[in-house]
Amino acid sequence: MIPNPIQKVLSTLSTHQVRYLLMGGQACVFYGAAEFSRDCDIAILCEPQNLSWLQAALDELQARNIAVPPFEADYLLRGHSVHFRCQAPDVQNMRLDVMSRMRGVAEFNELWSRRTTIHDELDNAIDLMSLTDLVAAKKTQRDKDWPMIRRLIEANYAQHREAPSQEQILFWLLESRTPEMLVEIAKRYSATAQSASERRLLLVEAIAANRQALRYALAIEQEAEREADRTYWEPLRRELEKLRRERR
Residue predicted with more confidence, 116 or 39: 116
CA count, 13 A, side-chain hemisphere, 52: 3
Mean pLDDT, rounded, for 1-17: 86
| pLDDT score recorded for residue 38 | 73
Indicate the range of 7-11, 33-37, 135-139 predicted with least confidence. 33-37
| pLDDT score recorded for residue 2 | 58
Indicate the range of 3-17, 102-116, 148-162, 231-245 predicted with least confidence. 3-17
Domains and CATH numbers, the chain: 4-136 (3.30.460.40), 145-231 (no CATH)
Residue type (1 letter), 232? Y
Q: Read off the pLDDT of residues 36-70 as tens digits, 9 standing for 90 and up.
A: 667 899 999 999 999 999 999 999 999 999 989 99
DSSP string covering 165-217 = -HHHHHHHHHH---HHHHHHHHHHTHHHHHHHTTT-TTHHHHHTT-HHHHHHH
Residue predicted with more confidence, 186 or 3: 186
| pLDDT over 90 percentage in the chain | 88
Q: How far apart are CA 63 and CA 65, in angstroms?
A: 7
Whether residue 161 has pLDDT greater than 80: yes
Is-contact 117 61, C-beta < 8 A?
A: no
| pLDDT score recorded for residue 193 | 98
| pLDDT score recorded for residue 219 | 98
| pLDDT score recorded for residue 100 | 98
Judged on CB neighbours under 10 Å (0-12, 13-18, 19+), 18 is: buried
Q: Read off the pLDDT of residues 183-242 as tens digits, 9 standing for 90 and up.
A: 999 999 999 999 999 999 999 999 999 999 999 999 999 999 999 999 999 999 999 999
| pLDDT score recorded for residue 4 | 81
| pLDDT score recorded for residue 34 | 73
Judged on CB neighbours under 10 Å (0-12, 13-18, 19+), 181 is: middle
| pLDDT score recorded for residue 166 | 97
Nearest to 42 by CA among 57, 33, 34: 57
Length of the chain: 248
Q: How far apart are CA 15 and CA 7, in angstroms?
A: 12
pLDDT bracket for residue 120 (50, 70, 90): confident
Whether residue 1 has pLDDT greater than 60: no
Mean per-residue pLDDT of the chain: 95
CA 74 to chain centre: 21
Look at residue 121 and give its three-state secondary structure: coil
Q: Read off the pLDDT of residues 164-176 as tens digits, 9 standing for 90 and up.
A: 999 999 999 999 9
| pLDDT score recorded for residue 199 | 97
Sign, CA torsion 102/106/120/51: positive
Residue type (1 letter), 189? Y
**Phi, psi of 158, deg, nearest 5:** -60, -35
Is-contact 196 203, C-beta < 8 A?
A: yes
Look at residue 97 and give its three-state secondary structure: strand
Mean pLDDT, rounded, for 3-26: 92
Mean pLDDT, rounded, for 128-143: 97
